[in-house]
């Protein structure tokens, strides 16, 4: 029986005004519907934004440590319900259960972290150049945040957006992916039941094509945060630019993993497998390009391909599975199309290259882990984000060449280098043009206490997550306050 997810508007769970619904499916079993959810329209968006606006003034006036206490309670409950939420993630999104637990854990970490920020949210106090005058900067919230989240981290990414917005004193309207409505609903429900006042957090389900623009450009919205495709992200950036609206987009990667001739090859192979095929390659941070020094290219590639062939493809709830399905039929077709493109471009298909359909796999969206060798860095499979279990192996002459290839794409989210030479890794650390660099570790697995995001076409605006330059820079604006208690007119910069 499919579960029923609902919208949450002004503290009330409800259907779409139109009564329309959508259905989420188990990617491992096309016969299993997981949930129905409202398919909302602009009318529901209006109602949610109005509720969020009405709730804002009181929420803004609530002391941040008190806001933090609510988040802390939510984090406690999330931790208690981690396992049941993880099962929902695997059923609705497909990733293997240990990774689904990681998805929920990331939300737990983020919620605890931001709860603690309620007692920091610090600004600066600096001396004034004049006597009897002080000068400080404070973070202030902006208002209603419109947040649009993808399906690949259906609990973690909503947490990245919701909890920093709330701790800073904003209110939220979340529109989660239409393919993972239940995951988002469970997370929102836990936050709501932890004691958020009505209207502070609102949830509107639906299709991006139908309500995305209504939400992003709504006159009542102050901030927009989006994670998803580059094409949609760029439209949102343009819309927000015209509206002078604060915006953050996270729109993808083509992340390189460099293997130098002095690398620990066992470690590099493990890293390339985990980065390339973890979450079936459906991470913004996936290691979709492996750039290998020519001296170890043959050895690395042969062993990498052998290991990729051994990965067990199957439903994410089965403990033996290494690689789960991709999200749906459209994504599967897109990945298979890219495999054809790679073959036509002249890349050498070394393993996989097809849907995995043995036995019950025929009933899901499975793709065999695929490795292309002899990939030229200009090929489309080496330039465009595929978002599936497809890895391109590219040969490099030396470190400088590897870095040039690594940087020669439109994206710049994450990069990794495997080398035992500290001087080489230091050069890579300096010259890789990405938001995140890993030394002797794969491209995936960013931790929440530092900013998450990248350069170039990966996104615009402040980064997500914690640390300096992270999400609090999106969800607050700086206000500078000068207080003159001299009782007379004092003129800064004017010497008399």
Nearer of residues 56 and 418 to ligand UN1, judged by Cβ? 418
Q: How far is the CB of 444 from ligand UN1 (least distance, A)?
A: 4
What's the token pair of residue 405? Answer: 């290839």
Distance CA 471, CA 487 (A): 39
Nearer of residues 106 and 473 to ligand UN1, judged by Cβ? 106
What's the token pair of residue 227? Answer: 């994670």
The catalytically annotated residue of 92, 284, 351, 464 is 284
Nearer of residues 222 and 248 to ligand UN1, judged by Cβ? 248
Determine the number of helices (DSSP H) and then strands (DSSP E) in the chain: 15, 25
Nearer of residues 155 and 291 to ligand UN1, judged by Cβ? 155
102-131: contacts with ligand UN1 (CB under 6 A): 106
Nearer of residues 227 and 476 to ligand UN1, judged by Cβ? 227
Task: Give the residue among 389, 388, 438, 392 at the shortest CA–CA distance from 417.
Answer: 438
Q: How far is the CB of 184 from ligand UN1 (least distance, A)?
A: 15
Q: Which own/partner contact pairs does 55-62 have at CB distance under 8 Å and 24+ positions apart? A: 55/10, 55/171, 55/197, 55/198, 55/199, 55/200, 56/141, 56/143, 56/144, 56/170, 56/171, 58/197, 59/166, 59/169, 59/170, 59/171, 59/197, 59/200, 60/141, 60/169, 60/170, 62/169
Q: Choose, by CB under 6 A, the member of 56, 112, 113, 153 that binds ligand UN1.
A: 153
Distance CA 206, CA 105 (A): 26
Nearer of residues 170 and 285 to ligand UN1, judged by Cβ? 285
> Could you tell me how many residues of this chain bind ligand UN1 (CB under 6 A)?
10
Q: Which stretch binds ligand UN1 (CB under 6 A): 74-82, 123-131, 387-395, 443-451?
A: 443-451
Nearer of residues 353 and 454 to ligand UN1, judged by Cβ? 454
Does 318 qualify as catalytic in the annotation?
no
Distance CA 385, CA 292 (A): 20
Report if residue 438 touches ligand UN1, rule: CB under 6 A: no
Q: Which own/partner contact pairs does 308-313 have at CB distance under 8 Å and 24+ positions apart? A: 308/273, 308/276, 308/277, 308/351, 308/352, 308/369, 308/370, 308/371, 308/391, 309/351, 309/369, 311/273, 311/277, 311/369, 313/356, 313/361, 313/366, 313/367, 313/368, 313/369
The catalytically annotated residue of 250, 351, 385, 464 is 250
Binding flags for ligand UN1, 62-91, as an x/- string (CB under 6 A): ------------------------------
Q: Which stretch binds ligand UN1 (CB under 6 A): 20-28, 240-248, 388-396, 438-446?
A: 438-446
Q: How far is the CB of 446 from ligand UN1 (least distance, A)?
A: 3
Nearer of residues 134 and 322 to ligand UN1, judged by Cβ? 322
Q: How far is the CB of 156 from ligand UN1 (least distance, A)?
A: 6
Q: Which stretch binds ligand UN1 (CB under 6 A): 4-12, 357-365, 400-408, 442-450?
A: 442-450
Neighbour tally for 114: CB within 10 Å: 29
Q: Where are the beta strands (DSSP E) in 110-184?
A: 124-127, 133-141, 144-148, 171-175
Q: How far is the CB of 285 from ligand UN1 (least distance, A)?
A: 4
Q: How far is the CB of 198 from ligand UN1 (least distance, A)?
A: 30
Residue with tokens 């460099």: 258
Q: Within 13 A of 168's CA, how many CA atoms are on the CB side?
A: 29
261-320: contacts with ligand UN1 (CB under 6 A): 283-285
Partners of residue 371 on adjacent β-strands: 351, 391
Alpha-carbon Rg for the chain, nearest whole angstrom, is 24
Distance CA 343, CA 345 (A): 5
Nearer of residues 161 and 293 to ligand UN1, judged by Cβ? 161
Binding flags for ligand UN1, 187-226, as an x/- string (CB under 6 A): ----------------------------------------
Binding flags for ligand UN1, 446-465, as an x/- string (CB under 6 A): x-------------------
Q: How far is the CB of 385 from ligand UN1 (least distance, A)?
A: 11
Q: How far is the CB of 150 from ligand UN1 (least distance, A)?
A: 7
Report if residue 152 touches ligand UN1, rule: CB under 6 A: yes
Q: How far is the CB of 413 from ligand UN1 (least distance, A)?
A: 8
Report if residue 445 touches ligand UN1, rule: CB under 6 A: yes
Backbone angles phi, psi at 363, to 5 degrees: -90, 5
Distance CA 213, CA 235 (A): 9
Does 284 qualify as catalytic in the annotation?
yes
According to DSSP H, which parts of 35-180 are helical? 42-61, 64-80, 82-93, 97-117, 156-167
Q: Choose, by CB under 6 A, the member of 444, 460, 472, 474 that binds ligand UN1.
A: 444
Residue with tokens 């060449």: 401
* Interacting residues with ligand UN1 (CB under 6 A): 106, 152-153, 227, 283-285, 444-446
Catalytic residue numbers, as ranges = 250, 284
């Amino acid at each position: 029986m499919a579960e029923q997810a609902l919208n949450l508007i002004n503290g009330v769970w409800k259907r779409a005004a139109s009564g329309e619904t959508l259905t989420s499916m188990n990617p491992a079993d096309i016969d299993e519907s997981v949930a129905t959810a409202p398919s909302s329209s602009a009318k529901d968006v209006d109602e949610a934004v109005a509720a969020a606006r009405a709730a804002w003034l009181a929420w803004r006036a609530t002391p941040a440590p008190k806001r933090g206490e609510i988040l802390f309670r939510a984090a406690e409950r999330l931790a208690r319900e981690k396992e049941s939420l993880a099962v929902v993630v695997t059923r609705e999104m497909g990733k293997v259960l240990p990774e689904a637990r990681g998805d929920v854990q990331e939300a737990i970490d983020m919620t605890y972290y931001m709860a603690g920020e309620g007692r920091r949210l610090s600004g600066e106090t600096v001396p004034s150049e004049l006597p009897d005058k002080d000068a400080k900067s404070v973070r202030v919230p902006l208002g209603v945040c419109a947040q649009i989240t993808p399906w690949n981290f259906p609990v973690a990414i909503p947490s990245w957006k919701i909890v920093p917005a709330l701790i800073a004193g904003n209110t939220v309207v979340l529109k989660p992916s239409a393919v993972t409505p239940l995951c988002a609903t469970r997370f929102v429900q836990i936050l709501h039941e932890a004691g958020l006042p009505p209207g502070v957090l609102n949830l509107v389900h639906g299709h991006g094509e139908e309500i995305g623009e209504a939400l992003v450009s709504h006159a009542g919205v102050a901030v927009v945060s989006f994670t998803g495709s580059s094409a949609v992200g760029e439209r949102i950036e343009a819309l927000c630019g015209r509206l002078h609206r604060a915006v953050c987009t996270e729109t993808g990667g083509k992340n390189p993993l460099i293997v130098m001739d002095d690398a620990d090859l066992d470690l590099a192979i493990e890293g390339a497998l985990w980065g390339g095929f973890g979450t079936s390659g459906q991470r913004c941070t996936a290691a979709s390009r492996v750039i290998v020094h020519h001296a170890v290219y043959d050895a690395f590639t042969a062993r990498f391909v052998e290991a990729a062939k051994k990965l067990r493809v199957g439903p994410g709830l089965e403990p033996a599975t290494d690689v789960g399905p991709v999200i749906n039929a459209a994504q599967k077709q897109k990945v298979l199309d890219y495999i054809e493109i790679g073959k036509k471009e002249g890349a050498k298909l070394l393993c996989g290259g097809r849907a995995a359909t043995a036995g019950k796999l025929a009933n899901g969206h499975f793709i065999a882990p695929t490795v292309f060798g002899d990939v030229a860095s200009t090929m489309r499979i080496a330039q465009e984000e595929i978002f599936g279990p497809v890895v391109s192996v590219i040969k490099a002459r030396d470190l400088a060449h590897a870095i040039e290839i690594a940087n020669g794409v439109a994206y710049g989210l994450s990069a990794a280098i495997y080398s035992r030479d500290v001087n080489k890794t230091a050069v890579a650390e300096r010259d890789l043009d990405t938001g995140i660099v890993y030394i002797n570790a794969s491209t995936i697995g960013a931790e929440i206490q530092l900013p998450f995001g990248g350069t170039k076409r990966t996104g615009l605006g402040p980064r997500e997550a914690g640390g300096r330059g992270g999400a609090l820079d999106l969800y607050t604006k700086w206000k500078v306050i000068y207080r003159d208690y001299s009782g007379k007119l004092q003129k800064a910069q004017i010497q008399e």
